[in-house]
Amino acid sequence: MEPISWPEFAGIHPFVPPEQARGYAALIDDLETWLAEATGYDAVSLQPNAGAQGELAGLLAIRAYHDANGGTHRDVCLIPSSAHGTNAASAVMAGMKVVVVRCDDDGNVDLDHLRTTLDQHRDDVAALMITYPSTHGVYEATVADVCAAVHDAGGQVYVDGART
C-alpha cells in the first residue's frame, strides 16, 4: 500500500485526459489480469482503496449480472453474522435485502444454517458476502463448500479481503 500512496503516483488528477493516463491504465489492466490468473477467477475489478466503496461496486456488479441474465428478482444478500457492519450497509445501498447467516462458535460460517437459508431463499439469492480470511483472522476450511452452495443456488459470492 505504501508505494501507491506516494504523491508521485497517487497525485494524478481525477479528470486527467485518458491519453495522459495510459501508464496507469496499463498497470491496472496488468494487475487485474495477474490477479484473475492467480485466483482462477474469470475477471477481477480493482476498486477504490476504501472497503465500503469496493463492496458497493461489487454488489452493483452482481446486481447487473443478475439483471442481464433474467434474474432481476434476485435481491437477497446473505451476510454471515461475523461480518463488518459495512457489508449490510453496502447491500442495502445496492438495493438488496439482507439475510444473516449464523456462524459457529469459532466464527466460521455455519454450513447447516447456510444451506437452510439458501433453501428458504433459493429463488431470490443474489449474493453472499464473505470476508476471507474471516473477521476472526482465520482461513475457514469450508470456504469452498460455502461458495459452491451459493453458486448452486444461483447466487454470486463477493469476497471481502479486508483481512488480507
Q: Kindly report, residue by residue over 80-129, the tens digit of the pLDDT.
A: 998 878 899 999 999 999 999 999 888 889 999 999 999 999 999 999 99
* 164 or 67, higher pLDDT: 67
Which helix (H) or strand (E) segment holds residue 99: the answer is strand 97-101
> How far apart, in whole angstroms, are the C-alpha atoms of residue 140 and residue 26?
34
Range with lowest mean pLDDT among 45-49, 53-57, 100-104, 116-120? 45-49
- Sign of dihedral through CA atoms 85, 91, 97, 101? negative
Q: Which residues contact 163 (CB under 8 A, 6 or more apart)?
A: 131, 132, 133, 134, 135, 137
* 135 or 163, higher pLDDT: 135
The percentage of residues in the chain with a pLDDT greater than 90, rounded to a whole number, is 61
> How far apart, in whole angstroms, are the C-alpha atoms of residue 76 and residue 74?
6
DSSP characters over 1-53: -HHHHSHHHHT--TT--GGG-HHHHHHHHHHHHHHHHHHT-S------SSHHH
Instruction: Go through the domains of the chain in sequence order and give each one's CATH number.
Output: 2-39 (no CATH), 51-160 (3.40.640.10)
Distances (CA, A) of 38 to 33, 43, 44, 162: 9, 11, 10, 18
Write down the pLDDT at residue 48: 64
